């Protein structure tokens, strides 16, 4: 299993610091787990392969392109800094 951990500052609260851990088996396209923490609380979730396919279809984006955008937003870290915004609600 592969994992990444990134520090994020959501646009919804720029002064706050969150840590986002993403874990996956083969690649993001087969699904992945998320753990989000503000160092006081933690939230977890799972995104399944079917969820990824459905979301790509809903926004009318090629599935492979959608998975690549997920990779850039969730695990690329510094490579994509400033290109993606996070909102915590």
pLDDT tens-digit series, residues 31-70: 999 999 999 999 999 999 999 999 999 999 999 999 999 9
Domain count, the chain: 1
> Residue 79 has what pLDDT?
61
What CATH number should be reported for the domain holding residue 62? Answer: 2.170.210.10
In a domain, 49, yes or no: yes
C-alpha 88/C-alpha 36 separation (Å) is 10
Per-residue pLDDT at 82 exceeds 80: no
- C-alpha dist (Å) from residue 78 to 81, 82, 89: 5, 9, 24
Q: Which residues of 5-23 are buried (b: 16+ CB within 10 A; e: fewer)?
A: ebebebeeeeeeebebbbe
C-alpha 40/C-alpha 15 separation (Å) is 15
In a domain, 87, yes or no: no
C-alpha 86/C-alpha 81 separation (Å) is 11
Please give the residue range of the domain that contains residue 47.
Answer: 2-80
> Residue 50 has what pLDDT?
97
């Amino acid at each position: 299993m592969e994992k990444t951990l990134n520090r994020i500052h959501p646009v919804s609260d720029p002064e706050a610091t969150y840590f986002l851990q993403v874990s996956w088996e083969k690649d993001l396209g087969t699904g992945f787990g998320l753990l989000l923490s503000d160092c006081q609380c933690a939230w977890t979730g799972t995104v399944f392969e079917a969820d990824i396919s459905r979301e790509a279809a809903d926004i009318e984006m090629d599935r492979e392109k959608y998975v690549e955008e997920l990779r850039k937003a969730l695990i690329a870290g510094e490579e994509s800094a400033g290109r993606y915004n996070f909102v915590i609600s």
